[in-house]
Amino acid sequence: MMALKRYLILFFFMFFGTYTMSSQDKFFISTDKPSYTVPFKFINNMMVIPIEVNGKELSFLLDTGIENSIIFNFKFKDSIILKDTEEIILHGLGEGASLNALRSKNNLIRIGKILNLNHMIYVVLDEKFDLSAKMGIDINGIIGGDLFKDFIVDINYQNKKLTFYDPEKYVLETCKKCQTFPLEFHRNKPYLKAEVVNDNGKRSEVNLLIDSGGGDALWLFEGSEKNIKITGRSFDDFLGQGLSGEIYGKRSMIDKMILGDFEFDNITASYPDSSSIMLRGMKIDRNGTIGAEILRRFRMIIDYPNKQITLKKTRNFNDPFLYNKSGIELVYGGKMLVKEEQSFIVPNKNTANSSRSSYPEVIYTYALSYKPSYRISFVRKGSPADLAGLQVDDLVVEINGKSVYDKSLQQIIYELSGLKSKKIRLRIKRNDLQLKFKFELKDIL
Q: What is the pLDDT of residues 41-86, one digit of tens each?
A: 998 889 999 999 999 999 999 999 888 899 886 665 556 788 888 8
pTM: 0.83
Predicted confidence at residue 60, as pLDDT, reads 94
Q: Where in the chain is CATH 2.30.42.10?
A: 328-440
Predicted confidence at residue 433, as pLDDT, reads 92
Predicted confidence at residue 8, as pLDDT, reads 36
Q: What's CA 245's distance to the chain center, in Å?
A: 17
Q: Where in the chain is CATH 2.40.70.10?
A: 28-165, 179-313
- Domain spanning 328-440, CATH architecture: Roll (2.30)
Mean pLDDT comparison of 65-69, 96-100, 161-165, 244-248, highest-scoring range: 161-165
Confidence of residue 333 (pLDDT cuts 50, 70, 90): confident
Greater model confidence, 111 or 344: 111
Predicted confidence at residue 210, as pLDDT, reads 96
Question: How would you classify residue 171: left for phi > 0, otherwise alpha for psi between -120 and 50, otherwise beta?
Answer: beta
Percent of the chain exceeding pLDDT 90 equals: 49
Class for the domain spanning 28-165? mainly beta
Confidence of residue 341 (pLDDT cuts 50, 70, 90): low
Confidence of residue 278 (pLDDT cuts 50, 70, 90): low
Query: Looking at residues 170-191, what average pLDDT do you find?
Result: 89
Amino acid present at 2: M
DSSP assignment, residue 281? Answer: T
What does the pLDDT look like over 7-27, one tens digit per residue? Answer: 333 333 333 333 444 458 999
Predicted confidence at residue 128, as pLDDT, reads 65
The backbone torsions φ and ψ at residue 61, rounded to the nearest 5 degrees and listed phi first, read: -75, 145
Q: What angle do CA 340, 399, 233 make, to 5 degrees?
A: 160
CA distances from 297 to 84, 157, 184, 217, 303 (A): 41, 8, 22, 10, 18
Amino acid present at 275: S
CA pair distance 394, 431, nearest whole angstrom: 8
Cα torsion through 231, 237, 239, 242, rounded to 10? 120
Confidence of residue 101 (pLDDT cuts 50, 70, 90): confident
Confidence of residue 259 (pLDDT cuts 50, 70, 90): very high
Going across the sheet that includes 35-39, the strands are 35-39, 161-165, 152-156, 298-303, 308-313, 179-182
Predicted confidence at residue 385, as pLDDT, reads 95
- pLDDT of 321 over the 60 cut: yes
CATH classification code of 179-313: 2.40.70.10
Query: Looking at residues 358-377, what average pLDDT do you find?
Result: 74
- pLDDT of 343 over the 70 cut: no
Confidence of residue 243 (pLDDT cuts 50, 70, 90): low
Of 93-107, 276-290, 353-367, the least confident: 353-367
